[in-house]
Structures are given as structure tokens and as C-alpha cells.
Amino acid sequence: MALNRDFVGRTFEASAPYEVSRTKIREFAAAIGDDNPIYRDKDAAVAAGHPDVIAPPTFPIVFSLSGAGQGISDPGLGLNYAMVVHGEQRFEYRRPIYAGDELVCTSTITEIRSVGRNEFLTIRSDVTSTSGELVCQTYNTIVERGGAA
Amino acid sequence: MAATIKYDEVQVGQEIPAVEYQVRRVNLVMYAGASGDFNPIHWNERHAKSVGLPDVIAHGMFTMAEGGRFVTDWAGDPGAVVDYGVRFSSMVVVPDDDQGATITISGVIEDKLEDKRVVVALNARSGDARVLSKARAVVQLS
């Protein structure tokens, strides 16, 4: 079943700011097998010019879709999540993410299109500090296999 | 932030040597926990086969993270990566043995931009398959 194009342009906000902790950054770095001290040791991060340990480039995947979840699980959209694979992903940074950041995430469905038998849905998430500073934007494209058939 | 690589010392076309990254089932379990993505196709062989996959497959984001690791290890500072995007073009099948799968990543300087930024194009392969396409990172050099 084709996805409901009325969802393009809808915006979803995460229910609460995401608190970035040193512990979570360390856990994520361990999971990707990266032993860079800048992810673990505040002194090493400060020596590299950062205020605290920083997060790996793909870290925002941990929290950036928390708001969009309510949108893509809305039955009105018509997405069969069992058929979903990840199509594309992009992170665009204004500055690194630091331990101690409290980040507000607002997600917008920017595009739904059919390619062959598949449906492509793109979500842009704007990640800002609680004071409104834009930290990064993420672009997530998921593919519903067979959705356009 | 300060990358250890200097903008004036890199040329378009310059290659960054390949690095191999091993992926075992335990890595996918750890990644599921750390990322919050518990889709059973990444840890449950019975489920993966029931939905038509050859075996458990790695999270696309795990592969993307290894590409990120490749770039940040080269640049010398993870904070130097200002833009990073990929398309997931093929899956990384991870068998239930001690070897798991291998992702081989290499890079090339594709372009030099203003403000001492460069575009690094990544090539990521597992077995015979190219697992990322359109994989590009923009890196702020010194």
C-alpha cells in the first residue's frame, strides 16, 4: 500500500530534551569498537580543544528519531515496519556534540516518493541546544520494500 | 578542535589506505543495546531467515559508524567531521562463527573546498558486495 502523502511536512517533537552523558558516549564508542580517548577521557578531549568528551559522528542516531517514531507508527501513514530497511543517512554538523549537552530534537517528514516497487520516506531532524543553538541536522531515509506495489 | 592532517598537505586523488573491521554477532548485540535498535534481523537468525534474509545482517548504522571511525582516525579529531552521509547499497551478512564478517574501508580525497575543508569519498566492501555507496565525509583540516 502506498504511503499517505498527506504526512509530508508534518513535524514531530521529542517529548523531552536528550541529555548526552559521558557514560552513553563511552558505551556507544565501545559498541562500534572505537577506542579513541576523545570519546572516553575528558583530559584527552580538552587537550584536543573540546570542553568535554565528544560523541562519534553517527551518535545522533541514538536519539534523533525519538520524536519521529510517533509519526511513522501512525496507522494513517500506512507504513509496514516489518518491510522497512534503512536507505540513506546523513549528519550535518554545526559543532560536535559534547557530554553535558541537552538536545532538543524536532523531526519533519520532508519527502515520500516511489522508486520502482518501493516507498522512500525521508525525515529531517533538527537538533538544537535548549537555548536554541542549532547543533546538527540529520537526514534519515527509510525504504518500505514492496510498499508501492 | 584540530585535525592532525593539514589541508595544504593533501591533494585531490590522494588515497587513504584500506582498513579492515571485523564484525561478529557480539558486536551487533552491543550495537543494538547502545543504539536502541533492537530489530531482530540484527541478532536473531531464525527471524532473519523468516523474512527472507540469508542470515543475521549488521545494522546499516554499524557499517556507517565504522566508516566514521575510518575518517576520524585519519583526521585525528572526531570533531573535524562536519558532514557525513551514506547510502546503504548492500547488506553485511554476519554468520554465527568466530570470524563473523569483514568490512573493508578505504578512502580518497575527492575534492578540496574553501575554509580548509576536504571531501573524503569512502569505499566500503564486505565479501563481493559494495555495502555503502555515495559515502562522503566533509572534514575540517588544519
What pTM value is reported for the model?
Answer: 0.96
Q: Where are the alpha helices (DSSP H) in B59-108?
A: 60-75
Residues A29/A60, Cβ–Cβ less than 8 Å: no
* Closest partner CB to B77 (pick from A48, A85, A93): A48
| pLDDT beyond 60 at A93 | yes
Flag if B61 and A33 touch (Cβ within 8 Å): no
Kindly state whether A51 is in contact with chain B, defined as any CB-CB distance less than 8 angstroms. Answer: no
Residues A71/A109, Cβ–Cβ less than 8 Å: yes
- Which burial class, exposed, middle or buried, applies to B9 when counting CB atoms under 10 A from its CB (0-12, 13-18, 19+)? exposed
B25-35 and A22-31 are packed helices; what angle lies between their axes, rounded to 10 degrees? 150
Flag if A54 and B2 touch (Cβ within 8 Å): no
- Which burial class, exposed, middle or buried, applies to B56 when counting CB atoms under 10 A from its CB (0-12, 13-18, 19+)? buried
Q: Name all domains of chain A by residue range, CATH numbers in brackets.
A: 5-20+55-144 (3.10.129.10)
User: B74: pLDDT confidence band, cut at 50, 70 and 90?
Assistant: very high
pLDDT at B51 (0 to 100): 86
Mean pLDDT, chain A, integer: 94
Residue range A6-29, pLDDT digits in tens: 999 999 988 899 999 999 999 999
Residue range A117-149, pLDDT digits in tens: 999 999 999 999 999 999 999 999 999 988 887
Kindly state whether A89 is in contact with chain B, defined as any CB-CB distance less than 8 angstroms. Answer: yes
pLDDT at A90 (0 to 100): 98
Kindly state whether A91 is in contact with chain B, defined as any CB-CB distance less than 8 angstroms. Answer: yes
User: B31: pLDDT confidence band, cut at 50, 70 and 90?
Assistant: very high
Domain covering B7-22+59-140: architecture: Roll (3.10)
* Closest partner CB to A89 (pick from B30, B64, B69): B64
In DSSP terms, A13 is beta-bridged to A106
d(CA B34, CA A22): 13
In DSSP terms, B88 is beta-bridged to B132
Q: Does the CA dihedral A99-A135-B72-A50 come out positive or negative?
A: negative
Q: Is A42 left (phi over 0), alpha (psi -120 to 50) or beta?
A: alpha
User: A67: pLDDT confidence band, cut at 50, 70 and 90?
Assistant: confident
Residues of B in contact with A33 (CB under 8 A): 21, 27, 66, 69
Flag if A36 and B72 touch (Cβ within 8 Å): yes
Mean pLDDT, chain B, integer: 96
Taking CA B69 as the corner, what is the angle to CA A21 and CA B53, rounded to the nearest 5 degrees? 95
| pLDDT beyond 60 at B1 | no
pLDDT at A84 (0 to 100): 87
